[in-house]
């Protein structure tokens, strides 16, 4: 698998593979959100999923892939800090605001900051057509957030700070996307980076829970959530990071944000949530923006 990734990166086949990987990441991210919907508070679910990731990734990182070169351990250390800040901000955002309002804001600000960062760090520059696509996608995401804001009746007292946290979380999405893209490109074997990413970033919440004495015997439903969430996280983060190694970081970030469309479709088909013509129009705008970015380069 490593030889295949190295052989196609920077080629037309790599571009196609990156597009498929980014869209797969979007679908899995939407499944991840549906899995967590309303069952447990975000701190509990995040701790349980991290514990499962730690157990599942340890043998892969320690025994199956080459160890990271000594000179790149600082990249892994930075990655741990960045993802910890992101996870804390994400949990704080979900604590204070309705999921349907804050989630599109996080996903909207993330790709905007990422595209700007990719231009500065990797020298990737979007065409005018691609920037039009970014505008369409952002209009759809922020429009969806505004539409949902008008409909929600819970958490209205904390909605303004929640939106501020959502923007900060979106900024951290851009930071970790850019940092991880640089890290996976710097590592000789991309699967070494992926294995150690899941291993090292899974320590924080379980350790904090243990120090605070918050560990308890998990019920079967929480165990199922943890294992399913860990499996989906492997696919979601793994796919998008491989996409950034194979092709444009900015394009992968934008395509990943079609997760909002997949989330709405899952809610409609699986959770029996109504979509309505306005939400359908906004989701179509998000999808159109992603298509314009992908084919406007």
For the chain, the average pLDDT equals: 86
User: Cα separation of 211 and 169, whole Å?
Assistant: 25
Q: Of the candidates 86, 61, 23, which has an alpha carbon nearest to the alpha carbon of residue 259?
A: 23
DSSP reduced 3-state for 75: helix
Low-confidence winner among 16-20, 75-79, 153-157 (lowest mean pLDDT): 153-157
User: Cα separation of 246 and 190, whole Å?
Assistant: 10
- 275 or 47, higher pLDDT: 47
Q: Where are the domains of the chain?
A: 2-295
pLDDT band, very low/low/confident/very high, at 38 (cuts 50, 70, 90) = low
User: Cα separation of 233 and 224, whole Å?
Assistant: 14
Output the six-digit token pair for 165: 């946290």
Evaluate if residue 56 carries a pLDDT over 60.
yes
Give Cα 170 to chain centroid, integer Å: 10
pLDDT band, very low/low/confident/very high, at 151 (cuts 50, 70, 90) = confident
Output the six-digit token pair for 154: 């819970």
- Which pLDDT tens digit goes with each residue over 261-285? 887 777 677 666 666 778 778 888 8
Q: What is the pTM of this model?
A: 0.86
HEC secondary structure over 115-178: HHHHHHHCCCCCCHHHHHHHHHHHHHHHHHHHHHHHHCCCCHHHHHHHHHHHHHHHHHHHHHHH
Output the six-digit token pair for 267: 């809610």
User: Cα separation of 146 and 217, whole Å?
Assistant: 40
Neighbours of 59 (CB within 10 A): 11
Report yes or no: 167 and 103 within 8 Å, Cβ to Cβ.
no
**Rounded average pLDDT over 183-202:** 95
């Amino acid at each position: 698998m490593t030889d295949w990734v190295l052989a196609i990166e920077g080629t037309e086949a790599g571009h196609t593979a990156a597009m498929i990987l980014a869209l797969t990441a979007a679908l899995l991210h939407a499944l991840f959100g549906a899995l967590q919907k309303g069952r447990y508070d975000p701190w509990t679910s995040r701790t349980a999923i991290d514990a499962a990731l730690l157990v599942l990734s340890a043998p892969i990182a320690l025994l199956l892939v080459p160890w990271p070169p000594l000179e790149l351990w600082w990249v892994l250390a930075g990655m741990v800090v960045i993802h910890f800040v992101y996870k804390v901000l994400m949990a704080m955002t979900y604590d204070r605001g309705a999921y349907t309002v804050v989630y599109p804001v996080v996903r909207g600000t993330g790709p905007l900051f990422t595209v700007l960062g990719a231009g500065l760090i990797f020298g990737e520059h979007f065409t005018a057509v691609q920037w039009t696509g970014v505008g369409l996608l952002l209009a759809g995401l922020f429009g969806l957030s505004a539409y949902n804001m008008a409909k929600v009746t819970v958490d209205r007292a904390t909605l303004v700070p929640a939106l501020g946290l959502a923007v900060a979380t979106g900024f951290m999405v851009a930071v970790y996307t850019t940092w991880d893209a640089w890290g996976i490109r710097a590592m000789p074997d991309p699967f070494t980076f992926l294995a150690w990413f899941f291993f090292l970033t899974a320590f924080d919440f379980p350790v904090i829970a243990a120090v605070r004495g918050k560990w308890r015997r998990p019920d079967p439903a929480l165990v199922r959530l943890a294992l399913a969430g860990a499996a989906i996280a492997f696919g979601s983060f793994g796919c998008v990071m491989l996409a950034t190694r194979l092709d444009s970081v900015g394009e992968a970030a934008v395509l990943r944000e079609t997760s909002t469309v997949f989330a709405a479709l899952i809610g409609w088909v699986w959770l029996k949530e109504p979509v309505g013509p306005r939400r359908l129009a906004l989701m179509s705008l998000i999808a159109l923006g992603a298509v314009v970015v992908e084919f406007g380069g």
